[in-house]
Amino acid sequence: MNNQITILLSHPNISNSMFNKHLVDINRKNPNFVFHHLDKNRVNGYFDLEAEKKLLRESKAIVWQFPIYWYNSPSSLRDWQDQIMSPIVYSADNFLKGMPVRVVFTAGAAAEHYTHEGLNRYTAEEMLIPFEMTANAAGMKWFKPLGFYGCSPDMTKAALEKAAKEYEESLLELL
């Protein structure tokens, strides 16, 4: 596929997920999207480097998608960055150079809490600076993160559908 956007989903508890599961399920048939659940692709904590490289080589753009856990991504994405990005970025053939990347995150807290005046004291973009720095160090093309706030099990169907549409549009901007 020429215009493949690979969504690297980091979620340790997808069977109990409401928001991320919905974003994935409703967009699963999009011909541009390939979903890759990181938590299901580790054996004893380790990814298959060659399989991950192959998937990345087939991708035009990548997405790091996750629920915010303690102001960070869940561990599978951090492991993926350590195990997969390091050998690519520090090799003679850094094929990640120029690759568009966007973070899509879901947060339990309301947007007003991710402000300098709010409970969390920092914005979501500030919270995600390590991801931006990682993309930058790899020579990737960083796109503004897309965030969904106040994600709870009592979200209405209409809100979930609106979010899924916004998600699709935001991902297609990467091409």
Q: What residues line the site for ligand FMN (CB under 6 A)?
A: 17-21, 67-71, 106-109, 151
Q: Which is nearer to ligand FMN, 53 or 150 (CB)?
A: 150
Q: What angle do CA 70, 136, 121 make, to 5 degrees?
A: 35
Residue showing the smallest CB distance to ligand FMN in the complex: 108
User: Taking the alpha carbons of 115, 137, 141, 37 in that order, is the dihedral positive or negative?
Assistant: negative
The least CB distance from residue 107 to ligand FMN, in Å, is 3
Contact 102, 170 (CB under 8 A): yes
Shortest reach from residue 69's CB to ligand FMN, in Å? 4
Tokens 């956007």 -> residue: 5
Closest approach of Cβ 116 to ligand FMN, in Å? 16
Closest approach of ligand FMN to the CB of residue 97, in Å: 31
Q: With respect to ligand FMN, which residue has the nearer C-beta, 69 or 95?
A: 69
Sequence length of the chain is: 175
Using CA atoms, how far residue 110 sits from 66, 72, 75, 139, 156, in Å, is 16, 16, 23, 32, 15
Of the pair 27, 94, the CB lying nearest ligand FMN is at 27
What letter represents residue 166's amino acid? E
67 or 100, CB closer to ligand FMN? 67
Give the residue with the Cβ less far from ligand FMN, 1 or 119.
119
User: What's the closest the beta carbon of residue 19 comes to ligand FMN, in angstroms?
Assistant: 4
The secondary structure of residue 41, as a DSSP letter, is S
Give the single-character DSSP code of 66.
Answer: E
